[in-house]
Amino acid sequence: MKETDKLLLSNKAWANERRLVDPNFFGRLVNQQRPHFLWIGCSDSRVPVSQITGTDPGEVFVHRNIANLVIASDLNLLSVLQYAVEVLEVTHIIVCGHYGCGGVQAAMAKRSYGPLNRWLRDIKEVYRRHRDEIDALPLEARADRLTELNVRDQVDNLIKTSIIQHAWKDRKGPWIHGWIYSLTDGILKELLAVPPGSPIDPIFAFDFDFDE
Ligand code: CO
């Protein structure tokens, strides 16, 4: 049996069970998705959003990349964000990091990874911005703290986008949350929650009436 056959078999079993429990399950999902949440998480296989949050298909719109970064020039992230905020009108965005993140650890190390270096550089920038605080900690605590600070910085990066600022002005949403997942006990915790309309650093604030 091929390694991938197991996945296809499990999928059949899952779909059959779903139909048995709820005959309309797939019928309801075919016509539309109205998720209330956008999840921006790490690609790490140990942080599967549906399983750890107990959510069903249709409940969470998802974007994942290495170390859950929000980069202003990332067309993939921006497209997901725009669709989630402007079309799906999600009410909550969750940026979720996790302790033991390989991306964060790699960014703190000296090894060169080729093209991945460019991606890791944005985490190095987070480190640089918070160097004093991180370097004051014992060695073993530094990666965890950088992981938390990284989540906070990515929440800030979301607020700097015109997509979020426009939605806050237009429809008083969405909330933006920063969460951390622990691989050791499977528990999510909230680091911060930013309500719509929160203060924005003036240099990053857009004036949407400017052209009118
Ligand atoms: Co990770």
Domains along the chain with CATH numbers: 1-32 (no CATH), 34-211 (3.40.1050.10)
Give the Å distance between the CA of 208 and the centre of ligand 1. 36
Helices (H), the chain: 5-21, 25-31, 49-53, 75-82, 102-108, 116-129, 131-135, 139-159, 162-171
Pairing of strands 175-181, 188-194: antiparallel
- Determine which one of 19, 22, 28, 46 is catalytic: 46
Pair 69, 118: CB distance under 8 Å: no
Provide the pLDDT for residue 14: 97
Provide the pLDDT for residue 211: 65
| Whole-structure pTM value | 0.95
pLDDT over threshold 90, residue 98? yes
180 or 115: which leads in pLDDT: 180
Pair 50, 60: CB distance under 8 Å: yes
32 or 82: which leads in pLDDT: 82
Give the Å distance between the CA of 43 and the centre of ligand 1. 6
Going by the DSSP 8-state scheme, the letter that residue 86 receives in this structure is: I
- Determine which one of 63, 98, 142, 177 is catalytic: 98
Instruction: Answer yes or no: 122 catalytic.
Output: no
pLDDT over threshold 70, residue 57? yes
The predicted model gives 26-33 an average pLDDT of: 87
Signed CA dihedral, 13, 16, 21, 27: sign only: positive
Give the Å distance between the CA of 212 and the centre of ligand 1. 43
Percent of the chain past pLDDT 90, that is, above it, reads 93
Kindly report the backbone phi and psi dihedral angles of residue 132, in degrees, each rounded to the nearest multiple of 5, phi listed first.
Answer: -60, -45
**For residues 204 and 153, what is the distance between their CA atoms, to the nearest angstrom?**
14
CB neighbours of residue 100 within 10 Å: 16
pLDDT digits (tens, 9 = 90+) for 121-161: 999 999 999 999 999 999 999 999 999 999 999 999 999 99
Provide the pLDDT for residue 149: 98
Whether the bond into 174 is cis, omega within 30 of 0: yes
63 or 210: which leads in pLDDT: 63
Question: What mean pLDDT value characterizes the chain?
Answer: 95
